[in-house]
Amino acid sequence: MSNDRLRLAVILGSVRDGRFGPAVANWFVAEAERRDDILVDLVDLAEVPIGSAAPTMTPPQPVLAVLHELTPRLDAADAFVVVTPEYNRSYPAGLKNVIDWHNAQFHAKPVAFVSYGGISGGLRAVEHLRAVFTELHAVTTRDTVSFHNAWEQFDGDGKPKDPQRPAAAAKTLLDQVTWWARALRDARNATPYQALSTTR
């Protein structure tokens, strides 16, 4: 299996100062890296300085430089896991902007979610993202990992205080996303996926 490892892009969606996201993302990446069927690429959007530039057919040169680095990483992925907080009952604007700069990179690939937040654990952000990725011809997995009142769930070293429950949830998520990744990769190799874009 090690010769046929799937490429998993873990997208950290928060870019705010003082964000909690790295603790969650780093924990999840460590869980994923325990497996011998996955190669993990952590895409931290705080290191992707697109800013608020809207998608356009003629991107400014600074955005082109960023996309030159980012887009091939998304292209190479067989699957995605989005790590997202919940901001005002939805997901971060920076995450949406990066998604909007891309399209074909997500076609016929699976997307799973790790969310965190207050009492809702970021699940409202996940439900909004499901609709977005459906529009991009992606397949979202059923099971998620969510941390309710996340800042109370981790210790000072960025580790879950109760490691067993989130580890079990991460295993379920990874089992699902890798199943879909392998199935969809085989399908794309057999028959290239055709998506009609309605964006103009």
- pLDDT of 200 higher than 50: no
Confidence (pTM): 0.94
Residues 138-186: tens digit of each pLDDT: 999 999 999 999 999 999 999 999 999 999 999 999 999 999 999 999 9
Length of the chain: 200
What is the model's pLDDT at position 81? 99
Q: How crowded is residue 187: how many other Cβ atoms within 10 Å of its Cβ?
A: 12
What is the distance of C-alpha 48 from the center of its chain? 14
In what helix (H) or strand (E) does residue 198 lie, and over which residues does it extend?
A: none
pLDDT of 198 reads: 54
For the segment 123-141, the average pLDDT, to the nearest whole number, is 98
Answer yes or no: is pLDDT of 29 > 70: yes
Give, in order, the Cα–Cα distances in Å from 22 to each of 42, 101, 136, 177, 189.
10, 23, 26, 21, 34
What CATH number is attached to the domain comprising 165?
A: 3.40.50.360
198 domain residue, yes or no? no
pLDDT of residue 51: 78
Would residue 92 count as lying in a domain? yes
Give the residue numbers spanning the domain of 182.
Answer: 2-190
Q: Is residue 199 part of a domain?
A: no
Least Cα distance to 180 among 105, 83, 81, 39 occurs for 81
Under a CB-based contact definition with an 8 Å cutoff, are residues 25 and 44 in contact? Answer: yes
Per-residue confidence (pLDDT) for residue 94, from 0 to 100: 94
Task: Quickly state the pLDDT bin for 3 (edges 50, 70, 90).
Answer: low
Residue 6 lies in a domain: yes
CB 81 within 8 A of CB 114: yes
Total tally of structural domains belonging to the chain? 1
Predicted pLDDT at 195: 87
Does any domain span residue 135? yes
User: Distance between CA atoms of 1 and 36, rounded to whole angstroms?
Assistant: 7
Tell me the average pLDDT of the chain.
94
* Structural domain includes residue 196: no
Does residue 195 form part of some domain? no
Residue 197 within a domain = no
pLDDT score, position 197: 59
The two tokens of residue 28 are: 């999840």
List the structure tokens of 71.
């887009």
